[in-house]
Structure formats: structure tokens, C-alpha cells
Amino acid sequence: MGTSAVPDIVVGRLPLYLRALSQMEAEGKEITSSQELGERLGISSAQIRKDLSQFGEFGKQGTGYSIGYLTEQLKRILKVNQTWDVALIGVGDLGRAVANYAGFLDRGFRVVAIYDNDPRKIGLKVGPFQIRDAAKLVQDLRGQRIQVAMLAVPVAEAQSVTDRLVEGGVRAILCYAPTSISVPRLVRVQYIDPVLHLQRMTYYVP
């Protein structure tokens, strides 16, 4: 099935399923069910079965899902059965935290380079990385064939940096800047803005 035929909201739930399966596997479990997954995630078992059916048949009625097999299949579908090199642009407080985060590698991503345009930061070490000059961004991206980037720059710089990421061949951008950026149709953007999630939650607070 082509990726365009699958609703984005369904694709967005697949990483949740994968994370829950990984936790189950770490607990020593080998078999699960849509009911158990649903209870862990707060999603109905019917919805989980419907989502998975978009990509094939992964379990048998009455016997459930093999956790190992379903994990492998979801990694294949999400293309994280390989390791993606990632560039991080912006090494302020947030960028430093992201650069030092150790949880990317075992989930399919490897930060390989970090960039900033502040002359006072260029050349400094952050964890295992040396901050590179953002002026070399396009050249480096093309040379290393990096297709995934994380954007942790101020709002005022977000669009101009995005344009350079696209010029360098990046096709997937995780944007931490609290703004919307414009990209060509074939480039995918995912936004992370904690304030939006906080505002959504406070709606439900009595």
C-alpha cells in the first residue's frame, strides 16, 4: 500500500505502538493483544486492529501478536529498521539538551553533526560533538547525504535555516521553534511545541 493511502493520524500512532511493544519486550513478554496494547496506551483495541490492518495481517484471532515480529514489522513500516543520520541546528539550551540525549540511537536515529551561527560557540564541544559553523550547512548536508534534521533555532531564523536545509537535501525536519515553516511538498515537518500541549491539557483541568 502506498504511503499516501494511509491517513497521517494512523502513521502518528505507529510509534506509540512500537514504544509499547519495546517496553513489553523489555519486560520479557513474547505475546500481546490489541486489548493489552489498548489498555497501555488508552486507545481502543478496535482502533489498534484497524490501524495495523492498513499495513497487513500481523496476528491471529485468539492468539494475539508476536511482540518480536510485530516490532520488526513496525520498524520496517516506519523505516527505522535502519539508522538515520541527523543534523541538529541551533545549540542554545534546548539544542544542548537534544545533543546530549542518549535515546535516539536505539530507536533508529544518530545525531552526527550540530551547527550554530554564533562565532562564540563554533568549535566548542557539546557532549561528543564539536559545534560546526552553520555557514557550511548546505555543503555538509550534501556531502554527508543527511536527509533528517532537527531545528532548534529562534523563531526569527527558523524559515531561513529551513530553506538551507531543503537546499542541502533534507527531507524530514523536526521543528522545536514555536512557529510554522514553509517547505516544498516532498519535505515533511513535525512540530514540537510544549506550550501547545500544555494549552490543550489545561482545557481539561477543572
Domain CATH for 18: 1.10.10.10
4 falls in which pLDDT band (50, 70, 90)? Answer: low
Overall number of domains in the chain: 2
Q: Is 203 among the domain residues?
A: no
Quote the percentage of the chain above a pLDDT of 70: 96
Is 64 found in the same domain as 103?
Answer: no
Is 106 found in the same domain as 10?
Answer: no
Domain CATH for 166: 3.40.50.720
- Does residue 30 surpass a pLDDT of 90? yes
* Cα–Cα–Cα angle for 16, 94, 152, rounded to 5 degrees: 80
Q: Is 144 among the domain residues?
A: yes
N- to C-terminal Cα separation, the chain = 44
70, with CB counted inside 10 A (0-12, 13-18, 19+), is buried
Is 165 found in the same domain as 93?
Answer: yes
- What integer pLDDT is reported at residue 31 of this predicted model? 95
Is 88 found in the same domain as 72?
Answer: no
Is 102 found in the same domain as 46?
Answer: no
Q: Is 37 among the domain residues?
A: yes
Q: Is 38 among the domain residues?
A: yes
Is 192 found in the same domain as 141?
Answer: yes
C-alpha torsion sign, points 36, 73, 108, 201: negative
Q: Is 185 among the domain residues?
A: yes
Mean pLDDT of 176-202: 94
Is 156 found in the same domain as 65?
Answer: no
- Name, in order, each residue with C-beta under 8 angstroms of 148's C-beta and a sequence gap of 6 or more: 84, 85, 86, 87, 109, 170, 171, 172, 173, 174
Strand order across the 172-175 sheet = 132-133, 109-116, 84-89, 148-151, 172-175, 188-191
Which of 78, 107, 142 represents a domain boundary (last residue)? 78
Alpha-carbon gap, residue 55 to 22, rounded angstroms: 19
- Does residue 138 surpass a pLDDT of 90? yes
Is 59 found in the same domain as 104?
Answer: no
- Name the more confident of 63 and 98: 98
H helix runs in 42-151, sequence order: 45-53, 67-78, 93-100, 137-144
Is 51 found in the same domain as 14?
Answer: yes
- DSSP code at position 87: E
Where in the sequence is the domain holding 19, given as residue range(s)?
A: 3-78
pLDDT digits (tens, 9 = 90+) for 140-152: 999 999 999 999 9
- Does residue 96 surpass a pLDDT of 70? yes
Which of 32, 62, 78 represents a domain boundary (last residue)? 78
